[in-house]
Each structure stands twice: as C-alpha cells, then as structure tokens.
Amino acid sequence: MSIPSFKLSRLCVAVAIAAPAALVGSGAVAAEATVKLIVNHGQASTMAVGSHASAVGGRVTRDLSRLGATAVEVPASKVAQFKALVGAANVEVDAERTLLGQRVGPTATPVLRGAAIAGTEVAPYGIPLVQADKVKGTGAWQPVVCIIDSGIDGRHEDLKKNTMSGKNFTTSGKWNTDENGHGTHVAGTIAGVDNQIGVVGVNGKNQVILRINKVFDAGGSASSSTVADAMMDCLDSGANVVSMSLGGSSSTAVEKNAAQALDAAGILTIAAAGNGGNTAISYPAGFKEVVSVAAVDANKAWATFSQFNADVEIAGPGVLTLSSVPTGTGVIGSLTVDGTAYEAIAMTGSAQGSVSAPLYDFGLGQTDDTGVAGKVCLISRGVITFAEKVTRCEANGGVGAVIYNNAPGNFAGTLNGAPTTIPSMSLSQADGAALLAIAGSSANAAVAISNYAYNSGTSMATPHVSGVAGLVWSFHPECTAAQIRKVLNNTAMDLGDPGRDDKFGNGLVQAKAALQKLEGGFCAAN
C-alpha cells in the first residue's frame, strides 16, 4: 500500500453569525462569513484593537499582547474597513494549522476499555531504529517536553504513570481528554511507559515530564494564533522541549515571534516538516528557530509523503508507527508465536476475534489446500487480492489469516468489504520469513478493539526526535538547547546523499550515538 499525500493547511475562514439575523418573510438571513485575522500592533493595546473589531461587528478571539498581537474575527464584508482602522500593513490572515498524521487501518467507536496487545508489550520498530532501547540507566533530571496537539487520554494504561500537566486552548473536553486521538498517539511515542503491556515509548522509564497543551478538537484544525499562544504557555510552564506534530503552508509573524521567544529562553522546538510529498515549506517547521523533522519507514527509506526542502534538519520513523490511542478507539491485530510477539496490522474489514492454532504455510493463497483446516494461514502477499487470500483460507477451514509482505517492511491492507469471519492481519517480510521457518508452531492471532493503533505522517516522526532530545538531555542537564540540537544533528545516521540533504536532513536521529557524544564532553567543548 502506498501512503497517500496528506492535505496541507489552508487559510482559516469560519462561518459565524456576525449580528442577530433579521427575518425576511418566514426565513432568517443566512449567516455572514467571517474571517480570522491577526493584528500585529506592537505596543498598542489589545483593547484598542478590540474596539475597532467591535466597530465592524467583529470580536477579539485571542489576546497575544506579549507577542505584540491580537487575533480577531470580523465579517468578511468588513475586512477592508477593519484594515483601514488598524492599518492594513499590520494585518495578516490567521493561518490554519492541521495535524500531520493519519490513522492507518480500521478504527472503532470508543468503548470502556480496549485490549492490550496480546497481554504483552511490543517495542514499535521506531524505538530500536532511533536507538532508544540502547540507552540504559537513569538520567540526572527530568526535562519537560511540551506537546502541542489534540490533548491526551490521561487515563490510558500506557500513559497515566507519567508526571503531566496541561492546558486546554479549545472548547472541547479538557487537556487530559483527546477527542481526535492524534495527541495520545504522539504522547505514546514520546513517553509510553515500559510496563509490560501495550507499547513502550522513547522515554519508557519516566525520563521526562509531560506538558500537554491542547489546541485541536476532534476536527483536527487550529489557528496559528492558538498555536502561538500554546507555545508561550510551554515557555511559562518550564518546558525544555516543545513538540509540534502540526503545520500549515502559510507563516505568520506571531508564530515566528513565539518561536524566537522560545529559542531565546533556551527551549528546543521541534515540528513536523509536512506531508505534501513536495518541496513546500510547512510552518512552524520552516522557522530557523525550529527543528524540521522528515519521516522514514522501517527500512530507513524516505517516506514519499514527507516534504523535502532546505529546512529539513533531521528524520524520524513515521510510516506505520504503532502507539497509544484513546482507550478503546483502536482496532489492532496481534500475533504471538511460541511466546514471541510480532508487530501485526489488522486488515481493514477484518472480523474481530481471537484464535489459537498451529501456523500453516498456505503459499500465495491461490489454490485450495484442506491441510489448512483448523490452522492459521500464513500467506505471502502478491498475485491476488487480500480479500481472495483470506476468503480462500476461510473456505478451506482456516481459522485465521496472516499475510506477510513480499517486499521489505510491513504494510496496511484492506479486504474491501469481503464478508469474512476470521481475524486477518499483515506482517513484515522479515517476520514472515521467520515464521515460515517454524510453520507448525502454536500461534495466537487476534483482531480486537484496542487502546493502540498505527499512524503515518511526519507527525509520527516528530515525537521520535522530541523524545530522543528529552532522553539524552536527561543525562546532561548542563547542556543547552542549542547544544542538544547540535549533537542530534552531528550524530544522526546519514541517509540518502552523503551529508545533509533535503529529504533526510542530517539523517536519522540516534539516541545512543548522541549520548555517547555527550559523555565525551561535547557540551563543554561546544
């Protein structure tokens, strides 16, 4: 399956009622469109801007006076009049910011509790890829990682043991609820607890403290002014690292000013490069004060959706990454063979259920084979559709279907509505080869509502980098944000063209290599 290009941001244009609607006959006048703007007024007061907004039937939406700005919403027909009042040169569109990750595979409506992953813990491929599993011991302090996203499921089994606080910048829920699911996935990558269930994050031993600033509701859209406000709250809350898996195609002065304020305060700010698969620049990643993160897959290959340009600084795993989602909203495949857990992805359209039976080599699934009766089919990808493979497995008496890739890495597949009744899932080529060698072994295959899911996007790459920054910094509190940024770049695994390039930046972030560099006195020398 190829990863689709994700939509870049667009300008925020809202529809709201600017004034009480007058009645015409028996119907009301349609609500007038409104436009979200930012007034960069410097030392002038928000009150003065608010007076001008009120004069044209608008309102102040956010006070950003510490950044010399005010966000307003005014009727579209009054924009020119409003600009004349405050000075057109001071006004810019309050650009939209969107989340830069997308759920892969099936989803579920929320239930009270979903299943963990086969009652055991899985280390998603990104953890060893960034060497987080090679960092042992306890740090000297806990850096604060401020996540600006859609909130967090504070009761999640893999997150609730973290020390965390937060603030809600939306009208939806609380900071520790997540109506979208994206923020919980990001948080799991940074700090999923090593507790023998679910997944483990980069900082699985509580090496960091989390600050959760919620700017997205279920719809996944926010304004630049809201993001800037949340950035300043990160500063006020003592953040050391700010992680933003979000972006948009238009820059704003207020967001740039916030990035500069964080940089001046010694905070390392990290953001997603964007999912357009082109050379466009996404913001805030495009500001020089911000680390722009590209995405790679499990084979360290460039993710085709990842934006590539001169601002890209470093890369992290971002294709089919497994992490936490709000409790009971995921549907996940799990596969355990002879006590070893494998990373499996539920087929979209798979039946839910759990089976325990021997593994059986069912080839490509093209021909009937009654030997599979009562067994779990192990099937190679290729030639025919996933639906045909699973349907034939079931028709021959198979009780579960595991389709392994015919190319490096895993994949996400769909049954396209085929009426199957057995659990089906995908597996990587390497894991498929390993299981072929032990066909006949006892397997437990399940597809169930879960607290975990797979996402793809530069949104998923970003928390790997943010998490590694917090992890290595926890061992060396004497280092500055600039030094941590430099050591991550200097020790990244070079990928693509030799040296820095636009697709990978300086390369794949490497926790162990960075820590070894720090142990050698890097910060004292730099």
324: CB partners within 8 A, 6+ apart: 153, 156, 158, 159, 184, 185, 187, 188, 192, 198, 199, 451, 452
Closest CA to 507 of 516, 518, 515, 499: 499
Contact indicator for 225, 94 with CB cutoff of 8 Å: yes
Give 448's strand partners: 332
3-state secondary structure of 244: strand
Which residues are catalytically annotated?
149, 182, 459
- Alpha carbons 484 and 477: distance in angstroms, whole number: 10
Contact indicator for 331, 105 with CB cutoff of 8 Å: yes
Neighbours of 73 (CB within 10 A): 21
Helices 481-491, 511-519: inter-axial angle, 10-degree rounding: 120
Q: What are the structure tokens assigned to 331, written together?
A: 């549907």
CB environment 472-486: b (16+ within 10 A), e (fewer): bbbbbeebebebbbb
Question: 363 burial class (0-12, 13-18, 19+ CB within 10 angstroms)?
Answer: middle
Q: Which amino acid is at 376?
A: V
Closest CA to 216 of 147, 164, 267: 147
Question: 151 burial class (0-12, 13-18, 19+ CB within 10 angstroms)?
Answer: buried
Neighbours of 351 (CB within 10 A): 17
- Strands 59-64 and 69-75 turn out to be antiparallel
